[in-house]
Structure 1
């Protein structure tokens, strides 16, 4: 690997915005890749290095560039739940329909993990598909119920998804609805939200 590209990747991993600028000025490629095919922007997103990402976006970095695991800078925002990173990437034109290795869009892991602020922001500030179905046959609503713990954050996520028009009748591959999953798991608060939807 070219030393300039290695320097850029290292700076992105550390979140050193000044060093990123210097590496780019020295001729590093903004779309350089490491051994896992991670781009500088993906490395910055993984570390929630917002200023580093801002420099890379200004230099034309692609928010949709995917690594060996099919992660991209945009998709990673759903995992980390970073609203500031999401907002830095939006001007770069991320593909809201880009799928991760499970066939999901960024809203799905965010819902699973109970990232309330991210779910609120991505629903309000983008046209992301609230009813996208991943390879497991699950929507964001199903993931919030099936993989969540039924606590306050997941209750807020479910309320946000429903308010954004999520279909509470969209069942999983076995025909089980979010409401039935909530009742099976003893999540009374979630069940009440879904029953009223």
Structure 2
């Protein structure tokens, strides 16, 4: 990797992490920095972006960022959006082909993480799209995690989605 590319990756990831949409657009459009360019830590702008800024996510994805990029632990932007509770950003990721059934290194799907964090709106978005019978490496489903965290809203959402799934299969 040439120094110029590394510097471009550093500048783009820094702008995305700040949520600086005008600078992200300037780098993508004016400087023609590829959205998959990595910074000095091997991370793309989509991986380090301010998760609450769905406009930055959209700009990166519209310019070709990989919605399913994974880090060394298997964490995708969908995992990050689920962890932080940003349903709007998750919707944008889904619109651009993010998959929600790829586990991270611990076997967790984004719905496992959203359930653990108690993000009912994210669980509601993910439940119809997720494999609710998937077990993480500890042998837990998202429903098991919801029960353990004592989050009634998340628990009800998952139970209702499982009922719908069972009635569809019958």
Coarse TM-score class (shorter-chain normalised): 0.7 to 0.9
Q: Which of 35, 39, 45 is 1:40 aligned to?
A: 45
Offset of residue 157 of structure 1 = 0.7
Higher helix share: 2
- Shift in CA distance, 143/36, structure 1 to aligned 2, threshold 3 Å: farther
Q: Which residue of 1 aligns with 2:80?
A: 76
User: Who is 1:158 aligned against?
Assistant: 155
CA contact (8 A) 1:104 1:135 kept: yes
Gapped regions of structure 1 (runs ≥ 5): 167-197
The one of 104, 108, 113 equivalent to 1:109 is: 113
Deviation at residue 81 of structure 1 after TM alignment: 1.4
Q: Measure, in 1, the Cα distance between the counterparts of 2:94 and 2:117.
A: 21
- Which residue of the partner structure matches residue 86 of structure 1? 90
Taking structure 2 as the reference length, the TM-score comes to 0.86
Q: Distance in 2 between matches of 1:117 and 1:95?
A: 18
Count of residues paired in the alignment? 158
Deviation at 1:32, TM superposition (A): 1.3
Alignment gaps of 5+ in structure 2? 164-170
TM-score normalised according to structure 1 size: 0.75
Contact persistence 1:36–1:68 (CA under 8 A):
no
> 2-side partners of 1:36 and 1:164: how far apart?
39
Q: Deviations over 1:148-176 (max 9, x none)?
A: 1x2xxx1111111010017xxxxxxxxxx
Q: In 1, distance between residues paired with 2:78 and 2:105?
A: 14
C-alpha distance in structure 2 between counterparts of 1:47 and 1:89, whole Å:
11
1:58 aligns to 2:66 (yes or no): no
Does residue 31 (structure 1) correspond to residue 36 (structure 2)? The answer is yes
Q: Which residue of 1 aligns with 2:140?
A: 138
CA contact (8 A) 1:103 1:134 kept: yes
- Looking at structure 2, the residues matched to 29 and 56 of structure 1 have their Cα atoms a distance apart, in angstroms, of 9
SS at the partner of 2:162?
coil
Q: CA deviation at 1:53?
A: 0.7
RMSD in angstroms over aligned alpha carbons? 1.6
Post-superposition offset of 1:90: 1.1
